[in-house]
Amino acid sequence: MSAPATLEVRDYLRHLADERQLSPHTVAAYRRDLADLEEFLTSYYGTPDWAWSHVDRLTLRSFLGWGRRRDLARSTLARKLAAARGFFRYLHREEILEGNPARSIRAPRKEHNLPVYIRAQGVKALFDLAETRAGENTLQGTRLLAALELLYGSGLRLGELHTLDLPHLDLVGDQVKVLGKGRKERIVPLTRAAAVAVRRYLPRRAETGVSGEGGPLLVNARGGRLGRRSIQRMVRELLEACGEDDRASVHSLRHSFATHLLNKGADLMAVKELLGHASLSTTQIYTHTSMDRLKKVYRDAHPRS
């Protein structure tokens, strides 16, 4: 087990939660990354009696090397460095430290892994199976179809679906209000199929005893909010039943939403807004996915390819 967080780390995490109002999941990620840093520093200095003022640029570079020896992905190392950089920036701003030793350290280059997405015929197979299960008119079956329609039809993140409350859905105007990353709200379209699936699910939801007008959209058998892991598990089981790639996950439905829109000629800026991305560069990865498909078509079809 790692040592208890230092006072400075606890103060910083409270700052993130209370003043910056970051989501609990983001704060938890910072907590884990800074706990790893503290664990490393205790080993690096050979004593638990070190101080943050001891940490310099060389020490933090050694921390990245420690992560590489543990076979952490570059993206994970970059995130841990970002957590350290933010923490030391806070210590400097609060005049606890004279400078920020993480400021000039370059993050590892990220791997350019293309997102896993499900082809159109695979999506059809998923929905065919989900429709069959929803036809049994159970809480589990109707809930799964509603979740699937929102993940693929509106491009929601897992966390956005998990925190979605019933009043956020406008089943008449066919739109849904989503609380995304950074607690930013956006309005995204709701497909007619999604509206039908939600209406089909609501009577089974009401049977759990949850409020008919408020509360979480996705509920468990006791009427409480359905957990993130439960959503992941029920979607993953459906993907496996349809023979999808082992790498496919809940997030693959969001990737598929974006990829299929771009493949059909949707404007990149429009897709950016639908996904709730802060930067266009984040959305552009889906153009690479589309280009990858086009190159395969070219190689397979062109006589001189």
For 168, the token pair is 């956020």
Contacts (Cβ under 8 Å, ≥6 apart) of 288? 112, 114
Helix, strand and coil percent figures for the chain, each rounded to 5: 60, 5, 35
Considering 61, 89, 157, 236, which one is annotated as catalytic?
Answer: 157
Catalytic residue among 79, 225, 251, 293: 251
Q: How far apart are CA 177 and CA 46, in angstroms?
A: 51
Sheet architecture: strand order including 175-179: 169-170, 175-179, 185-189
80 is catalytic: no
**Which one of 181, 200, 225, 293 is the catalytic residue?**
181
From 80, 143, 254, 272, active-site residue: 254
Q: Is 112 a catalytic residue?
A: no
HSE of 17 in the Cβ direction (CA atoms, 13 Å)?
A: 13
* Residue 257, token pair as written in the block: 């939403």
Q: What's the number of CA atoms in the CB half-sphere (13 Å) around residue 165? A: 8
46 dihedral zone (left: phi>0; alpha: psi -120 to 50; beta): left
CA dist 30 and 27 (Å) reads 5
Give yes or no: 286 in active site: yes
- Residues 6+ away with beta carbon under 8 Å from 175: 187, 188, 189, 190
* 3 state SS of 69: helix
d(Cα 155, Cα 188) in Å, to the nearest integer? Answer: 9
Q: Which of 31, 89, 277, 293 is catalytic?
A: 277
Active site residue 277: yes
Which positions are annotated as active-site residues? Answer: 157, 181, 251, 254, 277, 286
